[in-house]
A and B are shown apart, each in its own frame.
Chain A
Amino acid sequence: MLTDLTIAQAAAGLRKRDFSATELTKAHISAIGQLNGRLNAYITVTADQAETAATRADKTLAAGDAPTLTGIPLGIKDLFCTNGVRTTAGSRILSNFVPPYESTVTANLLKNGAVFLGKTNLDEFAMGSANLTSAFGEVENPWHRSSDSTALVPGGSSGGSAAAVAAHIAMGATGTDTGGSIRQPAAYCGIVGLKPTYGRCSRWGTIAFASSLDQAGPMTRTVEDAAIMLQAMAGHDPKDSTSASIAVPDYRAATTRSLKGLRVGIPAEYRPDGMSEELLAVWQKGIDMLREAGCEIVDVSLPHTKYGLATYYIIAPAECSSNLARYDGIRFGVRAEGATSLDDLYEKSRHNGFGEEVRRRILVGTYVLSAGYYDAYYLKAQKVRTLIQRDFATAFEKVDVLLTPTAPTAAFGHNEKPDDPVQMYLNDIFTVPASMAGQPAMSVPVALDSRGLPLGLQLIGRHFDEETLIAAGAALEKSAAFSARPDLRAGAAA
């Protein structure tokens, strides 16, 4: 089936004329029609635009010398502004927002010939780890436990992207990662998710959550596909002053690189009390696979790991409270009815427009930045952040890459969500430190747990060394030979 192909296979097939871009796109649109009603992975499906783009791709392919992604159908997280296509950030307050411009990352993908199938669901303003905070409804993970059909969360915040890729209703998708929002849903849905180094992809035109952490990246079914997509997404952009003016290497070439002599660090602090034996066993399996591929395994310490989450939950809300100040019902977005004054208009529009989790984070951020508390919370967190970054710098003097679990558990049920927000935040315990330090990191699916759900391992690299992640990730992928697919997917009996 066309929907079963990887991006690399489809790109080759298009060039051999085995099928056309139009056929490939139509196969995906039809699968979305069958599955999206249940999965809710897409908020907006742009079928007509996709078919027009596919027709154009067929012409480009016929003319020869087409860029790599020509005719490849992708899902776009609904946090990337897309010219003329509604962009909601999963929020009521932007439910009517149609950007008159294109984000740099999506413009780069379009330039590379990609076809956009639609905008994928996410936690509101990318704030969440289960895709339960979207104003456009929950996303169902295409995977189910072998014992029962309980609906599980896809992870978050890029939950719609992860579910779409896992269910074969997109060949790949863009995600964004602030504290784990690419890697954790990738692990929950059994796919590959790569968060590049902070600065590798432009943030211009991506709706901001926490600007010192936000980074776009690819979500795909293989490491090679992640390399192909990142190649097109990355690069310096004068419109984002934090975008790095560093040449983008040939990522795809890194997939076949030898790992002989590569030093892999195993951080002691990623083994907290109460971690499941099953997850420890999968981690050990990953260690053994890399050792067999020629790597040297080295024990390392990242002593400030346990402070990562608390630091994150000061810095990220602080930045979010500032970034989200722009949504006030005046220039764009939804304006509340019946306001009696300007302040009343602000307060009503923001109360009605934001969901509970977003309001909570704005309020935490406002508190930690307010007079009298700034030094105790925000300044302190920035200093701890320095210590976290130094931990990584010290570890990377001894090793080339780190291997850890991606998330503390497999996907959980929609109705098994913890009531306490702090318990929910613990999902990101292994992904947040790399975000705080700006390191690139990738989740690779490695095994199924005893209940039949995917578990992922995380690789963390040096700044701007995504190539080593890709090389080590490809080796893990090869020896794990993870070929399981979810029960809900295009072409499978649903």
Chain B
Amino acid sequence: MSLDPATTRRIARLARIGLDDQETETVRTQLGGILGWIEILNEVDVEGVPPMVGTSMNTALTRRPDAVTDGNCQEKVLSNAPDRAGPFFTVPKVVE
């Protein structure tokens, strides 16, 4: 299994991880190795086998009453903000 550079760049872009050309090449080779190793699963016959979602141990998810149980903690929510303006998180300008 080998990945081409364009696919590697597309994956990095989807994951929002900036990679330079050399890193892209290293990742391309390593991902190829990992994906090649994973191909062992092609040996397994999964015809008619349902996918396991979660760990299938909770037979039914329970519901809680539709009531407010938390809130009024704006300062806590903002306490780790790398940059803030009053009660807002800031981001670089997105509209010209």
Known contacts A304-B44, A310-B38, A331-B80: A438-B55 contact under CB 8 Å = yes
22 A-B residue pairs with Cβ-Cβ distance under 8 Å, sorted by A, are: A96-B80, A97-B80, A98-B80, A306-B40, A307-B41, A310-B41, A330-B82, A330-B91, A332-B81, A332-B82, A333-B80, A340-B92, A341-B92, A341-B94, A344-B18, A351-B18, A360-B30, A360-B34, A363-B11, A382-B52, A383-B52, A420-B33
Q: Which residues of A contact B53 (CB under 8 A)?
A: 382
Question: Number of contacting residues on B, CB 8 A?
Answer: 47
A196 contacts partner chain B, Cβ-Cβ < 8 Å: no
CB distance from A213 to the nearest CB of B (A): 8
Known contacts A310-B40, A314-B38: A198-B16 contact under CB 8 Å = no
* Cβ 8 A contact of B18, one of A350, A366, A422: A350
Question: Number of contacting residues on A, CB 8 A?
Answer: 70
> B-facing mask of A227-262, CB < 8 A → 1, else 0?
000000000001001101100000000000000000
> A-facing mask of B34-59, CB < 8 A → 1, else 0?
11011011011010011111111110
* Cβ 8 A contact of A342, one of B12, B38, B52, B91: B91
Q: Are A345's CB and B91's CB within 8 A?
A: yes
* Cβ 8 A contact of B57, one of A306, A377, A438: A438
* Cβ 8 A contact of A385, one of B31, B38, B52, B91: B52
Most chain A CB within 10 A, of B31, B64, B81, B91, is at B91
* Cβ 8 A contact of A386, one of B12, B49, B76, B80: B49
Residue of B nearest to A317 (CB): B34
Q: Which residues of B contact A311 (CB under 8 A)?
A: 41
Q: Are A364's CB and B80's CB within 8 A?
A: no
Q: Are A387's CB and B18's CB within 8 A?
A: no
Q: How far is the CA of A422 from the CA of B40 in the complex (A)?
A: 13
Known contacts A350-B18, A370-B14: A422-B34 contact under CB 8 Å = yes
Given contacts A242-B57, A363-B11, A383-B46, 5 further A-B contacts (CB under 8 A): A245-B62, A331-B77, A347-B17, A384-B41, A420-B33
Known contacts A310-B37, A351-B17: A367-B11 contact under CB 8 Å = yes
Residues A337-377 near B (CB distance < 8 A): 339-348, 350-351, 354, 359-360, 362-364, 366-367, 370, 377
A313 contacts partner chain B, Cβ-Cβ < 8 Å: yes
Known contacts A238-B64, A307-B41, A364-B34: A348-B18 contact under CB 8 Å = yes
CB distance from A210 to the nearest CB of B (A): 11
Q: Are A329's CB and B30's CB within 8 A?
A: no
A381 contacts partner chain B, Cβ-Cβ < 8 Å: yes
B22 contacts partner chain A, Cβ-Cβ < 8 Å: no
Q: Are A328's CB and B49's CB within 8 A?
A: no
CB distance from A272 to the nearest CB of B (A): 13
Q: Are A387's CB and B38's CB within 8 A?
A: no
CB distance from A423 to the nearest CB of B (A): 10
CB distance from A124 to the nearest CB of B (A): 14
> Chain B contact residues: over half helix, strand or loop, or mixed?
loop
Residue of B nearest to A306 (CB): B40
Q: Which residues of A contact B89 (CB under 8 A)?
A: 330-331
The 3 closest A-B pairs by CB, nearest first: A347-B18, A382-B51, A332-B80
A447 contacts partner chain B, Cβ-Cβ < 8 Å: no
Q: Are A367's CB and B81's CB within 8 A?
A: no
Q: Are B58's CB and A370's CB within 8 A?
A: no
Q: Are B46's CB and A362's CB within 8 A?
A: no
Q: Are B80's CB and A381's CB within 8 A?
A: no
B68 contacts partner chain A, Cβ-Cβ < 8 Å: no
B85 contacts partner chain A, Cβ-Cβ < 8 Å: no
Q: Are A463's CB and B16's CB within 8 A?
A: no
Q: Which residues of A contact B82 (CB under 8 A)?
A: 329-330, 332-335
Residue of A nearest to B27 (CB): A363
Q: Are A422's CB and B37's CB within 8 A?
A: yes
Q: Which residues of A contact B62 (CB under 8 A)?
A: 241, 245
Q: Are B38's CB and A198's CB within 8 A?
A: no
Q: Which residues of A contact B14 (CB under 8 A)?
A: 366, 370
Q: Which residues of A contact B51 (CB under 8 A)?
A: 379, 382-383, 385-386
Q: Which residues of A contact B12 (CB under 8 A)?
A: 363
Most chain B CB within 10 A, of A213, A310, A420, is at A310
Residue of B nearest to A348 (CB): B18
Residue of B nearest to A315 (CB): B52
Residue of A nearest to B47 (CB): A383
Q: Are A313's CB and B38's CB within 8 A?
A: yes
B6 contacts partner chain A, Cβ-Cβ < 8 Å: no
Residue of A nearest to B49 (CB): A383
A389 contacts partner chain B, Cβ-Cβ < 8 Å: yes
Residue of B nearest to A94 (CB): B80
Q: How far is the CA of A244 from the CA of B60 in the complex (A)?
A: 11
A91 contacts partner chain B, Cβ-Cβ < 8 Å: no
> B-facing mask of A300-337, CB < 8 A → 1, else 0?
00001011001101100000010001001111111100
